[in-house]
Structure 1
Amino acid sequence: MIQQTLVNAANSGIPEVVEEIIEVFPGLVHHTNEMGQNIFHIAILNRCEDVFNLIYQFREEVRHLIVTKRDSNDKSCLDLILDLKKEQKLNLRASAAGAALQNCSGSRGFRTKETTTSGPVYTEAHEELVKEGEKLMKDAATSCTTIVALVTAVLFAVAITVPGGNDGNNGIPILFEDRGFIIFVILDAFGLFSSISYVVMFLSILTSRYSVIDFL
């Protein structure tokens, strides 16, 4: 009963149940279903990232045994990550971040010591996904850069043409000692600094190499 519950929890993406069972029965981490798949095989097949992340709670040698364990189809966890099918992709592909998030999730799956040499294999297997992610990210970054640039221009214009104007004799703002004016200046400066920071951030996205690790 416990074994079936563990498999069902991994299949449904419920990490809390999986974690509780493994804490009480640690040996069940090596339990396999009729296909020879352990809970991490199942988590990968169902794209249950929260369940798969439980692997980092185990010692390095145990993680190695888990990710290299082969099922009845001679597939290890690494093989299953590479065997990404269209119907298994995240249901976010219609959004601008969909392919980027998929690349991020996929590349994170290779960030263990046992898989440091698998990056080129992942890139080759997901070349189409990388290109799609690059296009979506560039489109989103371009749109956001345009909007933020407009906001920056407005905030800069407001900063040099302060409300109430300046004193013609000394150039000091007429409302300089007004509390509301001080609040206005602080908020405008904060907005200007933030918008400039966002412009730099979006420009760095546009000039990125768009390799798999860049999505992560």
Structure 2
Amino acid sequence: MKITRALGYEKASSILKKSLLLAAESGVHEVVEEIIKSFPDAVLYSDQEQHNAFHLAVINRHKWVINLIFAMSGHKHLLLMSQDKSENNILHLAGKLAPLYQLNRIPGAALKMQRELQWFKEVEKIVPPSIKEDKNSQGKTPAMVFVDEHQGLVKKGEKWMKDAATSCSIVTVLIATVVFAAAITVPGGTATDGTPNFYGFPAFTIFAMADAVSLF
């Protein structure tokens, strides 16, 4: 409140708007908290694409910022129902592909896709049921946006899983070959009647059990 009194409402709004939107986009929840505390209506500020702080937090996957705004703001309903310039609601924005710097934190395309789906489901839990089938300016529902945005990641995920399965199969064959050879080549040799020379020794028993487990 001291900021608005010293600089005037218009000047203070221009300063707080830039700071709040940047903090929400970057995930700096401490700055978001301080601005909302001093000027609660700042959560309604939006950029040229009509993305407010809540929108930016959803797009950039900043869960702490979302929880903070949702807990502190008295405009929960307006935030959840708000749309951007392209008539995308909160769930549409959650369905968009995450920024590269967020995706690159997760190894493997399949795990990236799993995290994206989890995020979409988390946001879906907090939005009103009435907007889950809303269409944006392109006539797409949130689910349609998610599918369209993640087609490339799905293909990469399929390839990653196939490559991983192939690698595992090769390793399995190698292990099976080694342990099978160890099973038919008895350590210490055998007696004339075919009995292993080390039969009855504890170490031989442990070897036989370990080899059997490895083969299975």
What is the TM-score when the length of structure 2 is the normalising length? 0.55
The equivalent residue for 1:31 is 43
Structure 2 distance, partners of 1:62, 1:176, is: 77
Question: Which of 92, 95, 100 lines up with 1:90 in the alignment?
Answer: 100
Structure 1 distance, partners of 2:201, 2:30, is: 57
- Alpha-carbon distance change, 57 to 178 in structure 1, aligned in 2, over 3 angstroms: farther
The equivalent residue for 2:26 is 12
The equivalent residue for 1:69 is 82
Structure 1 distance, partners of 2:86, 2:151, is: 30
The answer as to 2:157 corresponding to 1:137 is yes
Cα contact 1:97–1:136 (8 A) shared by 2: yes
The equivalent residue for 2:124 is 111
> What are the ranges of 5 or more consecutive residues in structure 2 without an aligned counterpart?
4-14, 134-139
The equivalent residue for 1:185 is 210
Structure 1 distance, partners of 2:197, 2:37, is: 74
Post-superposition CA distance 1:28-85 (Å, at most 9, x none): 376222557542123245x2434554269639x9754431135688664335446x4x
The 3-state SS of whatever aligns with 1:25 is helix
Higher-Rg structure is 2
- Alpha-carbon distance change, 50 to 71 in structure 1, aligned in 2, over 3 angstroms: same
Post-superposition CA distance 1:127-179 (Å, at most 9, x none): 43343233211111111111101111222233333387255344597796449
The Cα RMSD (Å) is 4.8
The equivalent residue for 1:152 is 172
- Count of aligned pairs: 181
Cα contact 2:83–2:90 (8 A) shared by 1: yes
Structure 2 distance, partners of 1:29, 1:158, is: 69
The 3-state SS of whatever aligns with 1:11 is helix
> What are the ranges of 5 or more consecutive residues in structure 1 without an aligned counterpart?
194-216
Q: Which has the higher contact order (CA 8 A, sep 6+)?
A: 1
- Alpha-carbon distance change, 192 to 105 in structure 1, aligned in 2, over 3 angstroms: farther
Cα contact 2:124–2:132 (8 A) shared by 1: no
Structure 1 distance, partners of 2:215, 2:132, is: 43
What is the TM-score when the length of structure 1 is the normalising length? 0.55
